[in-house]
């Protein structure tokens, strides 16, 4: 299905990123997995997947807020695997920023990881992706269209990701397709007191399917855009159990 394809996944060592990486690897892809601080998780995944197919997974560490270092991620991928077919912009920061408490550091961090990095990494990858008629898949959020209370900067950044997806589709077409997946309630955030048990139950109750999703749901949507949607670009697919239809 994806034999010989080369995929760079940002934030690919944990949570949804890890599910995406595992599914694409199972489909035959070679992976460059980016991580920032999750070195142990990244190495464990690399060992796990290379035991299945030797030499199929490599790692690259980087702080995506360092824009000057982003071209090196693409360069290392090409040097390791000979090219680049797919970029998955998955890495993200997420925490509340209610009005009255927002700092410039909050803005720089949340806009940096969620919007600036996908833009500049896509720009760095564009040449290689054009050579191989590649694909970019961005991870957006259903709250790009319906902002989450007290998450002002995050919601604005994800709205930017939706705009970026459509803009890049125009800029890079016809050679490169660009789409986005917008998750709903898939995994609850780590270390965020705003998501206690009653809150999580309330969010799930507002989905049409009355259940939380699984990281594999996002991974399958990413694979769909890469493998099964050759005539689709500039689109955003909500994977949210119908929550956005009820918000």
Query: In the chain, what are the domain boundaries?
Result: 6-188+214-241
- Active-site residue 154, yes or no? yes
Residue 35, SS3? strand
Quote the CA–CA distance of 28 and 177 in Å, as a whole number.
20
What pTM was computed for the model? Answer: 0.95
Question: How far are the Cα atoms of 79, 135, 179 from residue 229, in angstroms, in the given order?
Answer: 28, 10, 10
Question: How far are the Cα atoms of 13, 73, 116 from residue 119, in angstroms, in the given order?
Answer: 21, 14, 5
CB distance 115 to 162 below 8 Å:
no
CATH topology of domain 6-188+214-241: Rossmann fold (3.40.50)
Residue-wise pLDDT for 106-144, tens only, equals: 999 999 999 999 999 999 999 999 999 999 999 999 999
Active-site position among 95, 151, 154, 231: 154
Residue-wise pLDDT for 70-115, tens only, equals: 999 999 999 999 999 999 999 999 999 999 999 999 999 999 999 9
Report cis status (omega within 30 of 0) of the bond before 186: no
- Beta bridge pairs of residue 147: none
């Amino acid at each position: 299905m994806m034999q010989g394809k080369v995929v760079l996944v940002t934030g690919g060592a944990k949570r949804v990123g890890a599910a995406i990486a595992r599914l694409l690897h199972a489909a035959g892809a070679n992976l460059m997995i980016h991580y920032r601080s999750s070195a142990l998780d990244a190495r464990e995944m690399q060992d796990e997947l290379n035991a299945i197919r030797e030499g199929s997974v490599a790692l690259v560490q980087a702080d995506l807020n360092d824009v000057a270092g982003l071209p090196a991620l693409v360069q290392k991928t090409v040097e390791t695997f000979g090219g680049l077919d797919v970029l998955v912009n998955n890495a993200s920061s997420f925490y509340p920023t209610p009005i009255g408490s927002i700092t410039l550091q909050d803005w720089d961090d949340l806009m940096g990881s969620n919007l600036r990095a996908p833009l500049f990494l896509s720009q760095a990858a564009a040449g290689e992706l054009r050579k191989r008629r590649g694909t970019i898949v961005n991870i957006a959020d259903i709250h790009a269209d319906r902002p989450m209370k007290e998450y002002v900067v995050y919601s604005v950044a994800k709205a930017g990701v939706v705009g970026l997806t459509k803009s890049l589709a125009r800029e890079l077409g016809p050679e490169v397709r660009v789409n986005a997946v917008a998750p709903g309630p898939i995994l609850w955030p780590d270390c965020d007191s705003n998501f206690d048990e009653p809150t999580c139950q309330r969010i799930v109750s507002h989905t049409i399917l009355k259940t939380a999703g699984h990281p594999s749901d996002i991974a399958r949507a990413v694979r769909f855009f890469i493998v099964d949607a050759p005539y689709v670009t500039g689109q955003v697919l909500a994977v949210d159990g119908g929550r956005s239809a009820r918000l």
